[in-house]
Amino acid sequence: MKTTRFMTFRALLSVGLLLLAPSVLAQEESDSSGLGLETCELLVPGTPLSTMGECGWLQRPEDPAKPGGRQIDIRVARIPARGREAEPDPIVFFAGGPGQAATESWPIVAGALRKATENRDVLLVDQRGTGQSNPLKCPQIELEEALQADWEALAPMTEACLESLDGDPRFYTTTIAMYDIDAAREALGYEQVNLYGGSYGTRAAQVYYRLFPDRVRSIILDGVVPQGLGLGTEHAVKLDQAIYKVLDGCEADPVCAEKFPNTADKLRELISTIDAEPVEVTVEHPTTGKPFALTFNREVLSSALRFLSYSPETQAMLPMLIHEAATQRRFDRLASQMLITATGLQQSIAQGMEMSVMCAEDFPLFPRDPQPNDTLLGTLMERVTQIQCSVWPKGSVPEGFNDPVGGDAPVLLLSGEYDPVTPPEYAEQVAVHFDDATHLVAPGQAHIVATRGCIGDLASQFIVEASAANLETECLSNLKPSPFFISLTGPSP
């Protein structure tokens, strides 16, 4: 049985909007932080998205217990408020993954929060091990080679990654990284901050708040990860939950149901068929365009459908793609989707940092003997994680790390109704531990919702007021699932 490369199984932030920040040249000479801030362009890898800011470096001990030992450079960026007057409390952005960099992810959500950034700076710190903060990136392997690797190759591949890194993975955990971020806050002279975290970034934001509650004015958690959840332990169940909700929506839609009847049953049949007899398909390489052969099996199918489930636009394609695969044995489009996403992940995720977080913080919560199940992913996440973490050095986490985080800071929690990885019930689990929590669910949406409809404006108002009391949330009713694709040209008129 073959496995796609391990890095293809982690979460992605959905693509959002872009709003370029104005020139900050006028503030360059007045920098007194000691970070040596200079004008820079912040880019989203593999996309034309970018924004302008001021960038500098913060030196931090790799091992916090040895302040005089090896130092690593932490990348810090500030995007000054656009207005004439700036409030003293900036927005601190925590990227997802784990393994994504704040400076590389912020342009995706910048446009959605433009009303909040009119009079507030944005503070971006590439979490240690990501972006330009001593990145723990595994050597890239040619896509064809990675897709031909079997399960026996996964441990040696993980060992090869470990040996290539310039850093000790034990010191790249969430808790240690939050001290870096607070050091950047202090260096820039901010007394209080507003936190915005997406996906894994919601864990980081919660850990920061637990460590530095007096520094936090407000918190937004978008795609919420409960502190007691081992990331990956429920991916299979939650993915099925989202996919079958989407397919039920097709069944309730007269046009979709007529064109693609009984799609949920067809998916179950397709899984059984692929398990019994994987199919050889020829697809084009997503970057070179050259054709190459690929074994379409359960892992390729589950990866493709998982990645398609992260946004409402691609969820709308699920009935069509499942139907054609089940009835016409057309697997090439699903396989191509998996390849495109895998290629993007190679660019955006620092796999070494991802494993450092996963093996220290999540793996202890994984079942040691996962039982077979009939979900799309089955025990794939458990198998991959067990192999990786049998090799990877594990950092320590504080006692009570997995205890719920709570307090009296105002918190706005955001969820997508059809989120396949951080569904609304996760936000509810977190909300009960805060004295002032408001949970908004975006109808018909998926993973990361601040960029959707009016939610960015609501989030901006929440930051400005540090309160949800005056939010007019009726606009959420305007959000709908994307219309189902009836053909490759899109939905019916």
One domain for residues 327 and 394: no
Confidence class for position 255, pLDDT limits 50, 70, 90: very high
The pLDDT of 377-385, averaged and rounded, is 93
Pair of tokens at residue 289: 């365009």
The pLDDT of 329-344, averaged and rounded, is 81
One domain for residues 245 and 262: yes
Question: Residue 98: is the preceding peptide bond cis (ω within 30°)?
Answer: yes
367-380 per-position pLDDT tens digit: 989 888 999 999 99
How many domains does the chain divide into?
2
At 346 the pLDDT is: 66
The pLDDT of 270-298, averaged and rounded, is 88
CATH number at residue 368: 3.40.50.1820
Residues 6+ apart with CB under 8 A from 163: none
Residue 254 lies in domain = 235-347
84-100 per-position pLDDT tens digit: 999 999 999 999 999 99
One domain for residues 149 and 175: yes
Is the confidence at residue 130, as pLDDT, over 80? yes
One domain for residues 148 and 8: yes
Q: Indicate the residue among 309, 325, 347 that finishes a domain.
A: 347
One domain for residues 489 and 417: yes
Distance in angstroms (rounded) separating the CA atoms of residues 96 and 104: 11
Confidence class for position 336, pLDDT limits 50, 70, 90: confident
Confidence class for position 31, pLDDT limits 50, 70, 90: low
Is the confidence at residue 288, as pLDDT, over 90? no
One domain for residues 391 and 435: yes
Strand-pair partners of 490: 487
At 94 the pLDDT is: 98
| Percentage with pLDDT > 70 across the chain | 91
One domain for residues 124 and 151: yes
One domain for residues 121 and 190: yes
One domain for residues 219 and 247: no
At 493 the pLDDT is: 62
Task: Look at the block and give the residue holding tokens 């409390």.
Answer: 89
One domain for residues 316 and 439: no
The pLDDT of 389-405, averaged and rounded, is 97
Q: Do the strands 91-94 and 193-198 form a parallel or antiparallel pair, or are they unpaired?
A: parallel
One domain for residues 329 and 374: no
Distance in angstroms (rounded) separating the CA atoms of residues 32 and 47: 33
434-457 per-position pLDDT tens digit: 999 999 999 999 999 999 999 999
Is the confidence at residue 12, as pLDDT, over 60? no
Confidence class for position 352, pLDDT limits 50, 70, 90: very high
Q: Indicate the residue among 295, 326, 347 that finishes a domain.
A: 347
141-157 per-position pLDDT tens digit: 766 666 666 788 899 99
One domain for residues 304 and 340: yes
Q: Indicate the residue among 321, 347, 373 that finishes a domain.
A: 347
| CA-derived radius of gyration, the chain | 22
